[in-house]
Structure 1
Amino acid sequence: MPEKDHERLATELSATVSLLMRQLRAASPQGELTATQRAVIGRIDTGGEATIAALARAELVRPQSMRLTVGALEERGILVRSPHPTDGRQVVFSLTEEGRRMLALVRQAKHNWLAVAIAERLTAEERRTLAAATELMRRLMPE
């Protein structure tokens, strides 16, 4: 395959993945959480408790903005603060049971949308092709 074709494929794949991610975000329960709030609780779920500064760096926002996001999540009972384990001047935030429930709802809504779309819009052969493509995409990820 010529390099020009690789470039075009990379552009098309990137655009398609972006559109799919946008649709998955749209499938989340509306009004429940903002995109930033979903990103924060997802990050804490996978990475563990975190400070405002660490969350702001990870999400590429200013600490002041992250403080507002985390404050709203804490007020709703989704996050809880506790003392930093090694620095008494800081606090860390972790998910509450309500936060885990909310995250599960968001993930389930995305999964449901995608499963229905695959079942209703693709033929059996296209689903097999998608399964093969999914494996190829997994191989693109760094180990």
Structure 2
Amino acid sequence: MVVPIHVAETAGRLRGIVGQLHRRLRQVDNAGVLTPSQSAVLNRLDRDGPATQAELAAGEHVRQQSMGATLGVLDSLGLLRRSTDPADGRRIVIALSELGERTVRGVNQHREEWLATALHSTLSADELETIREALPLLQRLGQL
């Protein structure tokens, strides 16, 4: 498929803007207590539910040894709970602990508060409405 140049330019600008916003939101992330990798694992467990170390490593595109190190830190912070897989007693399933769930909720709330403040203080009512109208389109792109 040949993509018109203006569509390719729009794609490039959108990628850059989304990346910049993502980096900014990560800076707001939990006062620097967690690394981006640790936050990603917590968010994956929150979004997708319990998983094995191998499943988490595959989902985050890292080696199992790297995931083991990340999980070790999160475990030491009390953010995880491990249990035996009822379907296969040889497998260990990792989930968020109660503290882990509260941490994820707190980080997400902090990010949303920062973003809401930025939207309110930076954009006019018409600009904010334009973003609100574009959200379903962005969501559709994200689901491809």
Tell me, yes or no, whether TM beats 0.5: yes
TM-score when scaled to structure 1?
Answer: 0.93
The CA deviation string for residues 9-38 of structure 1, in whole angstroms up to 9 with x for no partner, is: 011011101101111111112232111111
- Secondary structure of the 1:89 match is strand
Equivalent in the alignment of 2:35: 34
Q: Which amino acid aligns with 2:75?
A: E
Equivalent in the alignment of 2:69: 68
Whether 2:137 is the aligned partner of 1:140: answer: no
Q: Give me the identity figure in percent.
A: 40
Q: What CA distance in whole angstroms lies between the structure 1 residues aligned with 2:38 and 2:143?
A: 27
Size of the aligned set, in residue pairs, is 142
The CA deviation string for residues 20-66 of structure 1, in whole angstroms up to 9 with x for no partner, is: 11111111122321111111111111111111111000001110110
- Secondary structure of the 1:90 match is strand
Gaps in structure 2 of 5+ consecutive residues: none
- Secondary structure of the 2:88 match is coil
Q: What CA distance in whole angstroms lies between the structure 2 residues aligned with 1:22 and 1:85?
A: 39
Runs of 4 or more above 3 Å deviation? none
Per-residue deviation at 1:90?
A: 1.9
Gaps in structure 1 of 5+ consecutive residues: none
Equivalent in the alignment of 2:59: 58
Per-residue deviation at 1:140?
A: 2.4
Q: What CA distance in whole angstroms lies between the structure 2 residues aligned with 1:23 and 1:84?
A: 37
Q: Which amino acid aligns with 1:9?
A: T
Per-residue deviation at 1:135?
A: 2.4
Residues 56-135 of structure 1: matches in 2 within 5 Å? 56-135=57-136
Per-residue deviation at 1:86?
A: 2.1
Per-residue deviation at 1:71?
A: 1.1
TM-score when scaled to structure 2?
Answer: 0.92
Q: What CA distance in whole angstroms lies between the structure 1 residues aligned with 2:105 and 2:57?
A: 23
Per-residue deviation at 1:137?
A: 1.3
- Secondary structure of the 1:68 match is helix
Q: Which amino acid aligns with 2:8?
A: E
